[in-house]
Each structure stands twice: as structure tokens, then as C-alpha cells.
A and B are shown apart, each in its own frame.
Chain A
Amino acid sequence: DAKTTQPTSMDCAEGRAANLPCNHSTISGNEYVYWYRQIHSQGPQYIIHGLKNNETNEMASLIITEDRKSSTLILPHATLRDTAVYYCIVRGSLYGGGSNYKLTFGKGTLLTVNP
């Protein structure tokens, strides 16, 4: 699976949009970009994933660049409860020949939402 690079930490004001970047320059054509978050020591929580098109759900939006070498997770109106470590994960595809059973977590970005 391709390696990802994320900033160690970010701050955001409550009510503002939080934009979390991720670089995945070695991503291959069949690999998906997944985002999870972990609040304190709780289990990781799935947020969103995408292949090449932008995606939106009730939690967040995912913007993937046209060359797919980077992406941005957007929390449109951050709240204090969004303070967490956010993980960007590139996951192999069944059709890409790589393992796609596992999620390979990096260190992620600690997002702190301030009042």
C-alpha cells in the first residue's frame, strides 16, 4: 500500500471548516484513500473514502486531486467533539493485486478544535 504523509498537528476554531491534507504521491490506480479518526483511546472511526471523485457524506467531504497524489478531508463546521487524531490511509484494491484486508495506520494528524 502507498505511503501517506500528514502534518503532525493542526488547530481549528470551533464552527470553522477544518481542512486536513494528506500526500500519497505513490498511490496506484486501484488504491482507495480512506480517512479514519480516533478520539482519545477509542476505536478508530470510519469517516469517508474515495477513489478519484470527490465524496461527501454526513460527516465530511473528501477532495482528491486530479493526479490523485494528494487529498484533503474537510469537516465543514468543526466542533469540540471533532478533536481527534485523523488518519489518511491508502488501501490496496482487490483488483490491484495487493492486500486490501488490512488498514495500515500512520501517526495521523492531531486536530485540536478550539472554542
Chain B
Amino acid sequence: EPEVTQTPSHQVTQMGQEVILRCVPISNHLYFYWYRQILGQKVEFLVSFYNNEISEKSEIFDDQFSVERPDGSNFTLKIRSTKLEDSAMYFCASSPGREYEQYFGPGTRLTVT
């Protein structure tokens, strides 16, 4: 069964450094998403991406964040200058269409020290 994959599973970085989280969505899906979950808190929507552009973003998704689909398979989330409060699980998701269910990857645990 196809699934969303994410790398790395755990990333440790120092405050102020740039990080890139990588995702490989399910191959025939057209919509891509990033969510995050701070330890002990709710899963929060960050951004959705379709046709090589952002279709919706949350207030969390400020200028420090960017997303890209650099090739036909990868979908990345970049955080330019990490802060301590960026420490969280980051989940990538994909769906075949806008109104279809979203399938989530296993997540990347980002720890900012």
C-alpha cells in the first residue's frame, strides 16, 4: 500500500540554523500539506500546496517558513532560522484531490537547542 514517507525521522539543530524537512508524498496525489504538533498539544495545520503554489497557510506559517516541490517526488519544508519554539513533530500529508482524505507520513521530530 502506498504511503507518505518523511526524512529524517529526527533532526537536532541549533537555534538560528536552517533546516529542511523532506517528504515523499503518495505518487499520484496532487495536494500536499504540512502540519506540526508541539509535544502534548494539538496537531496544527501549517500550509497546503497545489500546482506548485501555496493554496492556504496558517498564521504559524510566517516568513521563516517556505515550502517547495523541487522535483516530481519530493516536497520540502524549510525553516530559515530556527527558534526554540519550533521544536515539534512535523507531519507531511498528501491527498489525491482537494476534497479527499489526507494521508499522513510518520513525522520528523525537530529538536532545536
**Chain A 31-70 against B: per-residue CB contact (8 Å), 1 yes, 0 no?**
0101000100111111001000000000000000000000
Q: Which secondary structure dominates chain A's binding surface? A: loop
Contact residues on B (Cβ < 8 Å of other chain), bracket: 20 to 34
- Across the interface, B106 reaches (CB within 8 A) one of A34, A42, A102, namely A42
Cβ contacts under 8 Å, B101 to chain A: 34, 46, 49
Distance in Å: Cβ of B39 to nearest Cβ of chain A: 8
**Chain A 78-112 against B: per-residue CB contact (8 Å), 1 yes, 0 no?**
00000000010000011000011111111100000
Cβ contacts under 8 Å, A87 to chain B: 43
A102 and B99 contact, CB distance less than 8 A? no
Cβ contacts under 8 Å, B104 to chain A: 43-46
Contact residues on A (Cβ < 8 Å of other chain), bracket: 20 to 34
B107 and A100 contact, CB distance less than 8 A? no
Q: B55 interface residue, CB < 8 Å from A?
A: yes
A43 and B107 contact, CB distance less than 8 A? yes
Cβ contacts under 8 Å, A105 to chain B: 42-44
Q: B25 interface residue, CB < 8 Å from A?
A: no
**Chain B 55-93 against A: per-residue CB contact (8 Å), 1 yes, 0 no?**
110100000000000000000000000000000010101
B42 and A94 contact, CB distance less than 8 A? no
Query: Which 10 pairs show the lowest CB-CB distances between chains A and B?
Result: A43-B104, A102-B45, A101-B48, A105-B43, A101-B56, A46-B101, A44-B104, A43-B91, A105-B42, A43-B106
A41 and B98 contact, CB distance less than 8 A? no
